[in-house]
Every structure is written in C-alpha cells, then in structure tokens.
Amino acid sequence: MVTPSRDKRSAKQMLRKALPLEKANVHNGNKNANTDFLASNIEPSDYPVLFRCQVMLPSAGKFTAKIKVGTTTLTSHFNGGTNLTASCLYIFDLLVHTGDSVNFQSDQNQNGHLLRVQEIAWGTQ
C-alpha cells in the first residue's frame, strides 16, 4: 500500500513534536551580573511546552529566568532562590505558555558558564 505524501508529512510533523528542540546552547559564555545570558529572548514554537534548562555557573550565584508576557517581565529564581554551587551541573524545568518569552541571568559575574535549553513538546521527559 502506498501512503499519500500528505500522510508522510503528518507523520514527520508528529515525530518532530516527540523530539526535543534546541532553543539555546551557550558554551563558555561570559556575562556580567544581572545581564541576559542570551542575545534575545527565546519563545516556544508550540504551546504549552516545557523548557528544560541545563546550567553550570563557574561562580556560585543565583540562576534566574526572566519571563516576559506582553510588557510585563516576571523574575523567577531557580533552586529555591539559593545560590547554585560553582562548577556543578543543574537541570531545571520551566513551563512556557502562549505569549511567553524567556531569558536567563545570574546575580554574579559568570565567566565560562554553560547554558543549554531544549523545548519539550510531548511527554519525552
């Protein structure tokens, strides 16, 4: 049986949603305290989704998400608002909805940080 091309596209589109999508990948980044890690905010390509964030800060400090909706920016601290241990790897999840755009900061200068963000659309935790 031959599958029409429309069905092939649908299968490909469905498979795409099952795989994580890279939204940010910063290796050996350098940022001053309280400045955005990313050149521009990232937005989800589907709604609602999960942003899985992997981070390593070379200096102990708070790791923060800046979530913008419209003209309002909310600050959300990861790790209960306590400092991340220097040079340790952490993974955090952030739910993202329609209209959200996100960036990340630390309250300390970070020279050599790692930040990776993946968008997870389905339950491929």
Structural domains of the chain sorted by starting position, each given as residue range(s) with its CATH number in brackets: 20-120 (2.60.120.1300)
pTM of the model as a whole: 0.85
Residue type, 104: F
- Residue with token string 């659309």: 121
- pLDDT, average across residues 60-82: 97
Residue 123: pLDDT above 70?
A: no
